[in-house]
Structure 1
Amino acid sequence: MARYGAEHKQATRRRMIETAGRRFKRNGIDGSGIATLVADAGLTNGAFYGHFSSKDDLVAAVVTDQLDAQVARLDALPAGSRVEAFIRDYLSAAHRDDPATGCPSAALLDEIGRCDSATRQAYTAGVRSVISAIARHLDDGDDHTSAAEERAIALVGLLVGSLQLARALEDGELSDRVLAAAHTNALQLARAGRRPTNGRESA
């Protein structure tokens, strides 16, 4: 029987994490059994246990991967962008209507709170990194790091909670209004520490 090398094993593990991430965000953690998860990745149950000790182990890996990707996107934003592009995309109708490819917090927060300690620790570490990444864009040099982090914490809560609310509403018009109102308030929060230019807030 052919033995696969480390590179193949790593690629298989990556595929499992990526497909499970989409499935969890679409159907929920509790609504995604191992049989479905391995089928999504084109694997067998036996192959699954060659990479993860349990479903909880996979969940923790997915949470870490998803939040790492979110941090990478924030880090890639141009310096001084004030995360406007991130806010706009996060609170878009496209993001609301496609949870499988979107933010893990908005899709899974209620379930993560009921997960095991390892998953919650992975989520906590990931969210700390997201907050720090946002704070780096909010801090213009005059803003103290702690103040920028407080604003970043508030912004994360506003974005996640607003998207969850918009997704839960059956009334499409009201859902759109939730996103629009959240966008307005998120921009105000993101710009709160901006230095004035010629007596006015910079654009």
Structure 2
Amino acid sequence: MTRYGAAHKQATRERIVSTAARRLKSDGVAGSGVATLMADAGLTNGAFYAHFASKEALVATVVEAELATQCRTLADLAPGRAGVEDLVRRYLSPTHRDHPEAGCPSAALVEDVVRAGAEVREAYTSQVVAVGEVLAGLVGDAGPDARARLLAAFAGMVGTLQLARAVTDRRLSDALLAHGAEQALAAFAGPAVGAPTSDGTRPGPTGDDLPGSRP
């Protein structure tokens, strides 16, 4: 009988998590059975429990891994307004709307997280807190409420993307993305994002800042 080492087992586990992430974000937790998730990874259903104690354990691992990846992506953005505009344009874009399997875990899975057990919710909480901290660094906001404020702004983008995905009217969906981008840029505005004008207001986005101006 062939015996595999720890490196092989770890690589297999990572493959399960990676393929499960795409399926879960596309079909949701309820629509993704263990057999389907394992088939996506090219493995038999019986191999599942060699890597995870339960489906919830896999979902928790996927949520944690996906948000950790999102944190690293956000951390790579340029600090200040340029990075915020890059984030908003890419997030509220037709491409992101049309490909949930490759996109934000919150937009695809937050309803599943709300209904999940403690293991999944705790994994989500720990990582979404990290997202808030990275966003605070991106905009240069070290205030006591920065994390909550910026997560609320991020939640606005999540909701806009979900609504744009839900409606069947393509023109309405595109308009939701465009207007959502304006609202998101205003919500993210902070000391490092846009300096106040002489009347105390902050400059709003231009047409070049809206989805579709670049990939």
Whether TM-score is above 0.5 comes out as: yes
Residues 1-203 of structure 1 correspond to what in structure 2 (within 5 A)?
1-80=1-80, 81-139=82-140, 143-194=141-192, 196=195, 199=198
**Letter in structure 2 aligned against 1:154:** A
CA apart distance, 1:192: 3.8
Quickly say closer, same or farther: Cα 1:4–1:181, change in 2 above 3 A.
same
| Higher alpha-carbon deviation: 154-163 or 144-153 | 144-153
Deviations along 1:92-131, one digit per CA (max 9) or x if unpaired, are 0000011000011111111111111000000111111111
Quickly say closer, same or farther: Cα 1:148–1:138, change in 2 above 3 A.
farther
Structure 2 residue matching 1:111: 3-state secondary structure: helix
How far apart, CA to CA, are the structure 2 residues paired with 1:71 and 1:56? 22
Kept in 1: contact 2:129–2:147 (CA 8 A): no
**Letter in structure 1 aligned against 2:44:** T
| Higher alpha-carbon deviation: 39-48 or 15-24 | 39-48
Deviations along 1:62-91, one digit per CA (max 9) or x if unpaired, are 000000000000111123344221111110
Structure 2 residue matching 1:4: 3-state secondary structure: coil
| Higher alpha-carbon deviation: 161-170 or 144-153 | 144-153
Quickly say closer, same or farther: Cα 1:111–1:150, change in 2 above 3 A.
closer
**Letter in structure 2 aligned against 1:65:** A
- After the TM superposition, which segments of 4 or more aligned residues of structure 1 sit over 6 Å from their partners? none
Kept in 2: contact 1:82–1:191 (CA 8 A): no
| Higher alpha-carbon deviation: 104-113 or 79-88 | 79-88
Q: What TM-score do the two structures reach when normalised by structure 2?
A: 0.87
Kept in 1: contact 2:106–2:158 (CA 8 A): yes
How far apart, CA to CA, are the structure 2 residues paired with 1:197 and 1:77? 23
Alignment match, 2:212: none
Q: Which runs of 5+ in 1 are unaligned?
A: none
Kept in 1: contact 2:79–2:139 (CA 8 A): no
Root mean square deviation of aligned Cα: 1.9
Deviations along 1:41-62, one digit per CA (max 9) or x if unpaired, are 0111222110001111100000
Percentage identity across paired residues of the two chains: 47
Structure 1 residue matching 2:115: 3-state secondary structure: coil
Q: Which runs of 5+ in 2 are unaligned?
A: 206-215
| Higher alpha-carbon deviation: 61-70 or 38-47 | 38-47
Kept in 2: contact 1:135–1:151 (CA 8 A): no
**Letter in structure 2 aligned against 1:68:** A
How far apart, CA to CA, are the structure 2 residues paired with 1:13 and 1:144? 38
CA apart distance, 1:147: 4.1
How far apart, CA to CA, are the structure 2 residues paired with 1:67 and 1:150? 17
Structure 1 residue matching 2:31: 3-state secondary structure: coil
